[in-house]
Amino acid sequence: MIMEVSLNHYLFVSTTLFALGLLGVLLRRNLLVIYMGLELMLNAANLALVAFSRFNNSLDGQVMVFFIITVAAAEVAVGLALIVALYRKRQSAHTEDLTHLKF
Amino acid sequence: MQDIFFYLFAALTLLSGALVVLNPFSRNPVTSAMFLVLTMVFMSGLFVLLHAFFLAAVQILVYAGAVMVLFLFVIMLLDLKAEEQRRIKVFSAGLGTAAVGGLFALILLAIHNGAPADTGLARIEGTTFDLGQLLFTSYLLPFEIVSVLLLVAMVGVILLSKKDLK
């Protein structure tokens, strides 16, 4: 018998997704994949916020998610521009090749 | 019926999310990006189940559309080869996994111990109308500030992508 879906179900999905994103940030060495891990974590937070909003009968959480999506889009644009600039200098997007503080 | 869809979308979201990070078959960033697109799409299904219709649409448009196109564009631009098999440092990888596992257990414990939300029937609908009304009344100032942030990000990106920085 399947349990009725409650807030905790959504929070479980959100937590697992967040853990996966963090795992990607810690384990993967490619800057772009690390960035994808960050996106996963942001999305996990979004899911939690939408679930809270739904189960608390308040739309404020969804407005928050709207802002998060906007800021995430800006963040991705700037981050990817930085990665491209780095790649021009070093010809690599691999964290192990980018260990110098000064270029 | 909705419950079945929840389990379906949740399983698919987690599966494709896991394949973004830990794909046993491919180290190629393009594969990761494609699975990230799938994750976003399935997550917008979860948003629909939570009656957040506007956000589901925005999720597809902005994330699966704009952000992931940007990702793929940069991947093509950099012409990355599939990550050659470098030696994985077992110690640091194990330590990272343990840390993430600890955090995961901690959050799950907090969710489990938290008082179950008893708010009665969920009635809100995240339609464009309702969200827009909120966005242009009580959240007008943050809305305008975010637009300035987008402008700043745009200027910053153009400056960063210039060939020679002065």
| CB-closest option in A32, A54, A67 to B146 | A67
Tokens, residue B29? 């960033």
Alpha-carbon distances, residue A37 vs A20, A25, A64 (angstroms): 7, 5, 21
B107–A18 CB contact, under 8 Å: yes
For the cut 80, the answer to whether the pLDDT of residue B93 exceeds it is: yes
A37 chain-B contacts, CB cut-off 8 A: 20-21
Alpha-carbon distances, residue B22 vs A15, A38, A44, B113 (angstroms): 17, 14, 17, 30
B162 chain-A contacts, CB cut-off 8 A: none
Length of chain A counted residue by residue: 103
Contacts of B118 (CB under 8 A, 6+ apart): none
Cα of A74 vs its chain's centroid, Å: 13
pTM of the model: 0.90
Q: What is the mean pLDDT of residues A43-62?
A: 91
Q: How far does the CA of residue B124 sit from the closest CA of chain A (Å)?
A: 5
Q: What is the mean pLDDT of residues B76-83?
A: 72
For the cut 80, the answer to whether the pLDDT of residue B66 exceeds it is: yes
As for the ipTM of the complex, it is: 0.90
Length of chain B counted residue by residue: 166
A84–B104 CB contact, under 8 Å: no
A81–B36 CB contact, under 8 Å: no
Least confident of A19-23, A60-64, A99-103, B128-132: A99-103
Over the stretch A57-98, which tens digit does the pLDDT of each residue have? 888 999 999 999 999 999 999 999 998 888 888 777 788 877
Per-residue pLDDT at B85: 62
Bigger pLDDT: A87 vs B103: B103
| CB-closest option in B74, B86, B124 to A84 | B74
Per-residue pLDDT at A1: 43
Contact B156, A81 (CB under 8 A): yes
Q: How far does the CA of residue A42 sit from the closest CA of chain B (Å)?
A: 11
Cα of B23 vs its chain's centroid, Å: 18
Q: What is the CA radius of gyration of chain B?
A: 21
Per-residue pLDDT at B43: 94
Q: What is the mean pLDDT of residues B31-36?
A: 92
Contact B44, B56 (CB under 8 A): yes
Q: What is the mean pLDDT of residues B25-43?
A: 90
Q: How far does the CA of residue B50 sit from the closest CA of chain A (Å)?
A: 6
SS3 category, A94: strand
Tokens, residue A50? 């939408």
Per-residue pLDDT at A103: 63
For the cut 60, the answer to whether the pLDDT of residue B155 exceeds it is: yes
Over the stretch B1-10, which tens digit does the pLDDT of each residue have? 788 999 999 9
Q: State the burial class of residue B161 (Cβ atoms within 10 Å of its Cβ: 0-12, 13-18, 19+).
A: middle
B153–A75 CB contact, under 8 Å: yes
